[in-house]
Amino acid sequence: MKVSYHGHSVVKIESQGKTILIDPFITGNGLTDLKADEQKPDVIIVTHGHGDHLGDTIELAKRNDSLVIANFELATYLGWQGVNAHGMSIGGGYDFDFGRVKLTPAFHGTGLETENNEIIYLGMPAGVLITLEGKTIYHAGDTGLFSDMKLIGDRHPIDLAFLPIGDNFTMGPDDAAYAAKLLGAKKVVPIHFNTFPPIKQDPHKFTSMLENGTGQVLEAGEIIEL
């Protein structure tokens, strides 16, 4: 399969004729190489309700009849917007036709800002484990460091992990390097940095803190064959 990074927290997986997009924040994402009107995802996975993760989900899902996977409250909200959504909760897994998805904890917020200056809280933020073609990919979503990352790694051998390093809203580089150790992931790619001034980081400094050969900085559009 092909796994590619597209700036901020956007990850695309192409496997067995299916395209899966995680956190498709394309419009307004100054670091992405993607164009929203060219995307044809079969599946969209959304880690939480913040705009820099929900992104273009509603428009993409409506246009492509994509299946959207998110926590139960966010999925219910998206269903009301006319989207085909599948709700899950943390700790639960489900076997979809493209592979297995399991939601993991994430320590963060999940309030969606409305045009009326209101914040709607849409369940719990999540990370996601995706197992397909015998490989497991972990996308941590937005989260601080927590010791149960060790449990996630013990229960699921992780081939590829996407970890936020931006600091301020999520783990910074030091905590993310510790997270990589807890998870025991074979390969770690930094995400959620440099998109906005408060999350400016040097991703190479982060990968230099990891065990030799584990870290890999991906440019927007760059692919890992898994």
| Interface ranges with Mn ion (CB under 5 A) | 52, 142
CB 215 within 8 A of CB 206: yes
| Nearest-angstrom CA–CA distance, 24 and 202 | 23
The position carrying tokens 């092909």 is 2
The number of residues that bind Ni ion (CB under 5 A) is 2
CB 45 within 8 A of CB 17: no
Cβ distance to Ni ion smaller for residue 50 or 187: 50
Half-sphere exposure of 156 (CA within 13 A, CB side): 26
Least distance (Å) between residue 51 CB and Mn ion = 8
Contact region for Ni ion (CB under 5 A) — 38-46, 50-58, 126-134, 209-217? Answer: 50-58
219 burial type by CB count under 10 A (0-12 exposed, 13-18 middle, 19+ buried): exposed
Cβ distance to Ni ion smaller for residue 12 or 50: 50
Least distance (Å) between residue 191 CB and Ni ion = 12
Residues 132-161 that bind Ni ion (CB under 5 A): 142
Cβ distance to Mn ion smaller for residue 99 or 127: 127
187 binds Ni ion (CB under 5 A): no
| Nearest-angstrom CA–CA distance, 79 and 134 | 31
Pick the binder of Ni ion from 6, 8, 50, 187 (CB under 5 A).
50
Cβ distance to Mn ion smaller for residue 75 or 106: 106
Cβ distance to Ni ion smaller for residue 99 or 127: 127
Which value, in Å, is the radius of gyration of the alpha carbons in the chain? 16
Q: Which two tokens stand for residue 29?
A: 């994402």
- Bridge partners, 135 (sequence order): 132
- How many C-beta neighbours within 10 Å does residue 134 have? 8
| Nearest-angstrom CA–CA distance, 226 and 35 | 24
Least distance (Å) between residue 170 CB and Ni ion = 7
Residue least distant from Ni ion (Cβ): 50
Least distance (Å) between residue 97 CB and Mn ion = 29
Cβ distance to Mn ion smaller for residue 99 or 166: 166
Least distance (Å) between residue 176 CB and Mn ion = 14
Give residues in contact with Ni ion (CB under 5 A).
50, 142
